[in-house]
């Protein structure tokens, strides 16, 4: 581990030098790449330097105690030695986490797709609740939200809604949200007061650039049609809605929220690239199935991951057996406690696998 840290410290020195090189500054792509590498390496090396400082303090304090020259300061030296040993142990554990292989998608923006599952209108209403929950969290993080496509119901829910969240590290926060979210509550339409169980499917996709997924235009079938709204009424008098079919994979994406056919096509292509990337990632992960098993969630959208129980005011994440009696706060976007617990559990699983 320490040989690797020494090499990374040398690399950071080189990257810092490159960032002040006029030729690199003039090359936008190179400058951006070096900035990204600098931001990734800096926290690791700062922690490593803290580790080395603690190690030096321990060596110096032990030397002074062994010499026994200053009896008056002996108690202070022992206290400093104890603090340095605690710091050394803590830094060593933190460095193990910092050196875990980084998910290459963590810094990316995300595309989130929410679809009502079992439960009809109640599932559609809960899909709207989840859309609001994620939007409120993103707003608190000062991230940009854009609806890419939606199929609303006439009672305020969504049969499906697809939106992007643009912000540094958005995927790293949202990636464990993929799966089936179950809700248990008494629907407003239920006169008998019986608790119903409904389900909503969430898919979280990293937003990918055109260079990351090459799409041959000859592999696409593009259809245009007139957009429709809740109840079937026409919300557009021109053929502005776009449906794109990727023939090799059979993936179909529709967008109708914009009045401009070109804007709808751009949004549909953004979703299509992310879905094709998801298929490519799924195939790659089949080859490294053991790695997927070591993670908290497989990202499989058929996996039931969480239950929101309204009568008891609780939210339970089934993957890490965590129950929080903070339903209202969570639905209002207070997701940090859940997300941090999932990230910590994922890191612990990966550390355990690395040490075996």
| Residue 46, pLDDT score | 94
Query: pLDDT tens digits for 3-17?
Result: 888 999 999 999 999
Among 26-40, 61-75, 99-113, 132-146, where is mean pLDDT lowest?
A: 61-75
The CA distances from residue 318 to 74, 123, 305, in Å, are 52, 20, 5
206 pairs with which residues across the strands?
110
Residue 69 has pLDDT above 80, yes or no: no
Going by C-alpha positions, the residue among 117, 263, 277 that lies closest to residue 210 is 277
| Residue 290, pLDDT score | 47
What does the pLDDT average to over 343-352?
87
The CA distances from residue 274 to 14, 281, 318, 331, in Å, are 34, 10, 27, 26
The answer to whether the beta carbons of residues 242 and 264 sit under 8 Å apart is yes
DSSP 8-state code for residue 225 = E
The CA distances from residue 335 to 4, 216, 339, 348, in Å, are 35, 39, 6, 20
| Alpha helix (H) residue ranges in the chain | 2-18, 22-26, 28-67, 74-98, 121-140, 170-174, 261-287, 289-293, 327-331, 336-355
Going by C-alpha positions, the residue among 295, 287, 327, 305 that lies closest to residue 203 is 305
| Residue 180, pLDDT score | 93
Q: Domains in the chain, ordered, with CATH? A: 2-98 (1.20.58), 110-349 (3.30.70.1660)
């Amino acid at each position: 581990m320490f040989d690797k840290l020494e090499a990374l410290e040398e690399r950071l020195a080189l990257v810092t030098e490159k960032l002040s090189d006029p030729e690199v500054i003039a090359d936008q792509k190179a400058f951006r790449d070096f900035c990204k590498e600098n931001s990734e390496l800096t926290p690791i090396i700062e922690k490593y330097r803290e580790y080395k400082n603690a190690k030096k303090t321990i060596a110096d304090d032990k030397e002074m105690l062994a010499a026994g020259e200053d009896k008056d300061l002996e108690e202070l030296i022992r206290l400093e030695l104890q603090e340095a040993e605690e710091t050394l142990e803590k830094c060593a554990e933190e460095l193990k986490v910092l050196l875990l292989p980084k998910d290459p998608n963590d810094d990316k923006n995300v595309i989130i797709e929410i679809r009502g599952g079992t439960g009809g209108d109640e599932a559609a209403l809960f899909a709207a609740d989840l859309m609001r929950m994620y939007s409120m969290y993103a707003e608190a993080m000062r991230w940009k939200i854009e609806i890419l496509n939606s199929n609303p119901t006439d009672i305020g829910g969504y049969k499906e809604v697809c939106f992007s969240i643009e912000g540094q590290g958005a995927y790293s926060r949202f990636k464990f949200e993929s799966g089936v979210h179950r809700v248990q509550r008494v629907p407003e339409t239920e006169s008998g007061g019986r608790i119903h169980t409904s389900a909503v499917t969430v898919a979280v996709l990293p937003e990918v650039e055109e260079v990351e997924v090459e799409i041959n235009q000859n592999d696409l079938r593009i259809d245009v049609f007139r957009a429709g709204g809740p109840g079937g009424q026409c919300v557009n008098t021109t053929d502005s809605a776009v449906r794109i079919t990727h023939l090799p994979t059979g993936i179909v994406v529709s967008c109708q929220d914009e009045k401009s056919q070109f804007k709808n096509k751009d949004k549909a292509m953004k979703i299509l690239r992310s879905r094709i990337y998801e298929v490519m990632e799924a195939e790659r992960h089949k080859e490294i199935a053991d790695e997927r098993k070591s993670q908290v969630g497989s990202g499989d959208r058929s996996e039931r991951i969480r239950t929101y129980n309204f009568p008891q005011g609780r939210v339970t994440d089934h993957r890490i057996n965590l129950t929080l009696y903070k339903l209202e706060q969570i639905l209002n976007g207070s997701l940090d406690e859940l997300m941090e617990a999932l990230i910590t559990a994922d890191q612990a699983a990966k550390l355990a696998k690395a040490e075996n």
